[in-house]
Amino acid sequence: MEINFVESGDGTELQFRQTKFIDQEACDQHRQGWEGSFTCLENVLSA
């Protein structure tokens, strides 16, 4: 798992890279988990 914080205009861009999944199903499950986490983060930051 690699996470980079990059200055972007007046804010910060988060860049995530995760590799080495055992198969496509594991990759898809992680993608769903991250998407849910980002939705929660977006809700917190916009409140």
Q: What is the pLDDT of residue 37?
A: 94
Summarised one tens digit per residue, pLDDT across range 3-47 is 999 999 999 999 989 889 999 999 999 999 999 999 999 999 998
Q: What is the pLDDT of residue 10?
A: 93
Q: What is the pLDDT of residue 13?
A: 93
- Cα–Cα distance measured from residue 45 to residue 33, given in angstroms and rounded to the nearest whole number: 18
Q: What pTM, to 2 d.p., does this model score?
A: 0.66
Q: What is the pLDDT of residue 47?
A: 86
Q: What is the pLDDT of residue 19?
A: 86
- Contact in structure between 4 and 14 (CB atoms under 8 Å): yes
Sorted by sequence, the CB contacts under 8 Å of residue 5 that are 6+ apart come out as: 12, 13, 14, 15
